[in-house]
């Protein structure tokens, strides 16, 4: 029996945990500077909280928790006692039986639990409520490179306000986070109202969903193929020709300029005017405030599949050689909590894809090289007397905040040095009879191989200023 983790899940070793924490800590610090506060929800939700929120495909990918004891008993006895069974007819109400097997499930994203949270705690929250949440989610997707069954989402949302300044601040948040990561990014923005106007413009106002799904595919499929598939879905030839024209024009026109073109085209479509006005406001404020490094770009072909978006939609792509696809997304919604009986709660939210950002930072060597965690100094253990001396010293060092350890056994020197090497400990202290007598230590820099004998009192200074 060779132990392993379940398919699509991962262990994280110390070096990887450190890098992941660098990502989370960076994002968290920016969220907090913008007034967002952390909440946490349980990994388990009631199954009924989740089902029906992610479409049929999503429902299928929810991990369910098997009921226990009496509940499981009840589910099973429902079968056992079925006269249909006894007579060999099989279970008729298969669906009901399966739903009896599980009442609970693992959360599938952070948005639905957040909606549930807002409704449940509405009297304890200050609205507009800004929250961030960095927690794992679970999806029974087929695992593949970069796609896991257990992965972290890093979400921020503000609910209870229509103010477009929230969108402006999300652009600033994207900008600041990726500035800290040293990653140049393009922040793409569109507006669901503009897509809706586009559907009207091409004479297919009732086919918005099919249109957005198709547009979403444009970065993976040739324009011709996407257009052909629309015709198959009942779009008229005229609609498709109009759409194709607009899309081609958008590709050959600079983003902001194309917003002006659309203003003319959608002259008679109120919703389109509204969407263009919203984006105009966001661009204007972002211009006033300035960005550190990111570029904000209008992109008509940005659609995002989620149906609950009603205003601005975002996507962030790295402007680097490394091809990792979209690393953030988000958008505005009119009604987050209606499904839980609290209508009219509008808001806007964004999400950072931690795994993709990890791969990206690996690819561009973007992780910081200075050590902010992990042992800084190891004492070699030569035996009880020396170990006693070092153990005492450890107390002083640790009280100064130095992360330090004593090799626990007086093993062979070679073994101890290999350990220090494997653990990438930058300094090793060697303390033998001579050093004890003179109250000094011999300090070895594991990177350069240099050795220094110095008074015990100089140790912290030396470690901190090298």
Tell which positions 168-187 bind a second copy, by CB under 8 A: 168, 172, 176
Closest to a second copy by CB, 323 or 421: 421
125 near a second copy (CB under 8 A): yes
Q: Which is nearer to a second copy, 100 or 271 (CB)?
A: 100
Does the footprint of a second copy cover residue 40 (CB under 8 A)? yes
Query: What is the closest distance, in whole angstroms, from the C-beta atom of residue 185 to a second copy in the complex?
Result: 18
| Dist. CA 287–CA 352, nearest whole Å | 24
Q: Which residues pair with 430 in a beta bridge?
A: 442
Nearer of residues 228 and 373 to a second copy, judged by Cβ = 373
Q: In whole angstroms, what is the distance from residue 83 CA to residue 223 CA?
A: 57
Query: Which of 56, 57, 124, 370 is close enough to bind a second copy by CB under 8 A?
Result: 124
Binding to a second copy (CB under 8 A) within 293-332 occurs at none
333 binds a second copy (CB under 8 A): no
- Determine the Cα angle at 97 with ends 95 and 99, to 5°: 70
User: Would you state the torsion angle of the CA atoms of residues 285, 290, 295, 298, taken in this order, to the nearest 10 degrees?
Assistant: 10
> How far, in Å, are 202, 209, 214, 263, 295 from residue 269 at the CA level?
12, 18, 22, 9, 29
263 makes contact with a second copy (CB under 8 A): no
Taking CB under 8 A as the criterion, the residue among 341, 369, 370, 414 binding a second copy is 341
Based on the shown chain and the rule CB under 8 A, indicate whether residue 358 belongs to the binding site for a second copy. no
- The owner of tokens 């004492």 is 379
CB of 242 to a second copy, least distance (A): 37
Among 101, 213, 261, 322, binds a second copy (CB under 8 A): 101
We find the least distance from the C-beta atom of residue 411 to a second copy, in angstroms, to be 9
Sheet holding 129-138, edge to edge: 37-38, 129-138, 150-159, 347-353, 328-333, 309-318, 185-191, 295-298
Candidates 23, 50, 108, 130: give the one binding a second copy (CB under 8 A): 130
Stretch touching a second copy by CB under 8 A, among 158-166, 352-360, 429-437, 438-446: 158-166
Enter the tokens of residue 408. Answer: 């626990």
Footprint (CB under 8 A) of a second copy, residues 184-243: none
* Residue 414 in the binding site for a second copy (CB under 8 A): no
Residue number, 49 or 239, with CB nearest to a second copy: 49
CB 173 within 8 A of CB 291: no
Per the listing, tokens 């477009």 go with 164
Distance CA 127, CA 49 (A): 23
Which member of 58, 78, 136, 338 binds a second copy (CB under 8 A)?
Answer: 136
Residues of this chain, 387-406, that bind a second copy according to CB under 8 A: 387-388, 391-392, 395, 398, 401-406
Across 325-345, b (16+ Cβ under 10 Å) vs e yields ebbbbbbbbbebbebbeeeeb
Can residue 12 be called a binding residue for a second copy (CB under 8 A)? yes
């Amino acid at each position: 029996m060779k132990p392993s983790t379940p398919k699509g899940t991962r262990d994280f070793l110390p070096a990887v945990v450190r890098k992941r924490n660098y990502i989370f800590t960076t994002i968290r610090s920016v969220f907090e500077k913008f007034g967002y506060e952390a909440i946490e929800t349980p990994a388990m939700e009631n199954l009924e909280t989740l089902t029906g929120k992610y479409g049929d495909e999503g429902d299928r990918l929810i991990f369910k928790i098997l009921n226990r004891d009496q509940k499981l008993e009840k589910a099973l006895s429902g079968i056992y006692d079925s006269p249909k069974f006894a007579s060999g007819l099989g279970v008729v109400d298969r669906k009901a039986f399966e739903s009896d097997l599980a009442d609970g499930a693992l959360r599938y994203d952070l948005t639905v639990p957040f909606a549930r949270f807002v409704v449940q705690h509405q009297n304890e929250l200050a609205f507009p409520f800004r929250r961030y949440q960095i927690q794992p989610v679970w999806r029974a997707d087929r695992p593949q490179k970069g796609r896991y069954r257990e992965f972290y989402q890093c979400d921020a949302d503000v609910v209870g306000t229509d103010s477009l300044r929230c969108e402006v601040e999300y652009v600033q948040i994207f900008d600041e986070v990726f500035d800290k990561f040293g990653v140049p990014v393009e922040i793409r923005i569109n507006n669901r109202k503009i897509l809706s106007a586009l559907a009207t413009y091409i004479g297919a106002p009732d086919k918005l969903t099919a249109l957005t799904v198709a547009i979403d595919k444009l970065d993976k499929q040739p324009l011709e193929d996407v257009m052909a598939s629309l015709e198959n879905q009942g779009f008229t030839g005229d609609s498709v020709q109009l759409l194709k024209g607009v899309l081609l024009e958008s590709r050959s026109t600079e983003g902001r300029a194309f917003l002006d073109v659309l203003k003319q085209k959608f002259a008679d479509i109120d919703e389109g005017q509204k969407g263009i006005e919203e984006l105009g406001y966001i661009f204007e404020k972002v211009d006033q405030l300035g960005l550190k490094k990111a570029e904000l770009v209008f992109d008509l072909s940005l659609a995002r599949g989620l149906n609950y978006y009603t205003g601005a939609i975002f996507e962030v792509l790295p402007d680097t050689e490394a091809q990792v696809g979209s690393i953030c997304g988000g958008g505005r919604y009119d009604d987050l909590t209606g499904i839980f009986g609290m209508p009219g709660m509008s808001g806007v939210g964004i999400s950072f894809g931690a795994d993709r950002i990890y791969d990206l930072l690996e690819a561009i060597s973007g992780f910081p090289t200075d050590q902010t965690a992990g042992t800084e100094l190891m004492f070699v253990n030569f035996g009880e007397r020396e170990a006693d001396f070092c153990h005492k010293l450890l107390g002083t060092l640790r009280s100064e905040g130095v992360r330090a350890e004593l090799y626990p056994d007086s093993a062979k020197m070679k073994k101890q040095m290999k350990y220090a090497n494997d653990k990438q400990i930058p300094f090793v202290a060697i303390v033998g009879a001579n050093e004890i007598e003179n109250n000094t230590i011999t300090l070895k820099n594991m990177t350069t191989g240099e050795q220094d004998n110095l008074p015990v009192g100089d140790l912290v200074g030396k470690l901190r200023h090298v």
